[in-house]
Amino acid sequence: MFGLNVKQAIYAWYQKNGRHDLPWRQTEEAYHIYLSEIMLQQTQVKTVLERFYFPFLERFPTLKSVAEAPLDAVLKMWEGLGYYTRAKNLHHTAITCNGILPRHPEELGGLKGIGKSTAHAICTFAHHEALPILDANVKRVLCRYFALSVKDEKVLWEKAWELLHVKHPYEHNQAMMDIGAMICTPKNPNCLECPLSFTCKGKEAPENYPLPVKKVKVPTKQRVALVILKEGKLGLIQRKERLLHGLWGFMQVDVRPGNAESLGKVTHTYSHFKLELEAVICKDLHVNVDGYFTDDQIAKLALSTVDKKILRLPAMMGNISPTS
């Protein structure tokens, strides 16, 4: 149905306009590509590029080095990137495959945190295999190009296969991601500059493909963070619950203890709720924490963003000893 023209147009567009200089496009090292794919799942290219990709590779130059490191060390390098399950899955996968990623897409897709699209991306970008990818940007381009009102995974995979340029899968997949990020953007797509424009079925009303899903307002939770000080050291816990598992932080409770003195409030929005957290210090409160730390020691722990926000409250300044 779709001749080579649109596929050739996508290929030619990538040669001229693609983001060839991204570091994960300058390597065929599967681990580097895998790392970039995982980091980019929920984070923008700019953030990954400027703050996380290179420091992580410097600390963990091989997947084997990830496998050999404790989870705490991996989480520390992920600190601030959010969605920490990604880091835990990366660590788990590194151990499972003993630092060597399998080459087969189905074996890759069976590893924790690697879905079908990520497995295809690794196989295409590292080994030039002819497999389509289906990340959020590509889904949007396909929905518009084929005028699909609903994002149906099965249909989208069929369409992705249909459009794939099997002779140039590397360039095709990179181009589709770039077109989604730079041209066929969620708002105001630039159809005039788009290589798919000639045969695009959705270009008259791109906003209808897919039809917008009503956003559900996330609930707000109000909680209290306990600032526990002992001889100038700060008492922290290592989280055991699913959210932020493995990260260090302040103990949180639902009810403000009596005698509590407020140090200020911080807020943080997670994917499924907004947290309003009041940090309080209370004298004579005996709670079990997992350890007491000085400023220097805290700097070496992996903390979540919300706990870091508490540490930066003006009322916290000068309360914790710098060194032991």
Q: What residue ranges bind ligand SF4 (CB under 6 A)?
A: 141, 144-145, 183-184, 189, 191, 194, 196-197, 200, 202-203, 206
Distance of CA 82 to the CA centre of its chain: 7
Shortest spacing between CB 128 and ligand SF4, in angstroms: 25
Give the amino acid at 65. Answer: S
Q: Which of 62, 197 has the CB closer to ligand SF4? A: 197
C-alpha closest to that of 227 among 149, 150, 287:
287
Q: Which of 91, 203 has the CB closer to ligand SF4? A: 203
The answer to whether residues 175 and 11 touch, using CB atoms and an 8 Å cutoff, is: yes
Tell me the DSSP string of 275-316.
Answer: EEEEEEE-TT-----SEEE-HHHHHTS-B-HHHHHHHTSGGG
For the chain, what's the residue count?
324
The CA-to-CA distance between both ends of the chain, in Å, stands at: 71
Residues 6+ apart with CB under 8 A from 183: 189, 190, 193, 194
Q: Which of 172, 309 has the CB closer to ligand SF4? A: 172
Cα-only R_g, the chain: 23
Shortest spacing between CB 138 and ligand SF4, in angstroms: 11
Q: Which of 87, 196 has the CB closer to ligand SF4? A: 196
Shortest spacing between CB 175 and ligand SF4, in angstroms: 12
Q: Which of 161, 273 has the CB closer to ligand SF4? A: 161
C-alpha closest to that of 220 among 276, 179, 174, 304:
276
Cα-based distances in Å from 53 to 34, 57, 64, 104: 11, 6, 17, 25
Shortest spacing between CB 313 and ligand SF4, in angstroms: 45
Q: Which of 35, 160 has the CB closer to ligand SF4? A: 160
207 is annotated as an active-site residue: no
Cα-based distances in Å from 64 to 67, 109, 159: 5, 19, 37
Shortest spacing between CB 178 and ligand SF4, in angstroms: 12
Q: Which of 125, 145 has the CB closer to ligand SF4? A: 145
Residues 6+ apart with CB under 8 A from 196: 6, 9, 10, 141, 145, 179, 184
Shortest spacing between CB 133 and ligand SF4, in angstroms: 16
The answer to whether residues 310 and 227 touch, using CB atoms and an 8 Å cutoff, is: yes
Q: Which token pair is 293?
A: 């730390």
Which of 28, 37, 50, 129 does the annotation list as catalytic?
37
Shortest spacing between CB 154 and ligand SF4, in angstroms: 21
Active-site amino acid positions: 37
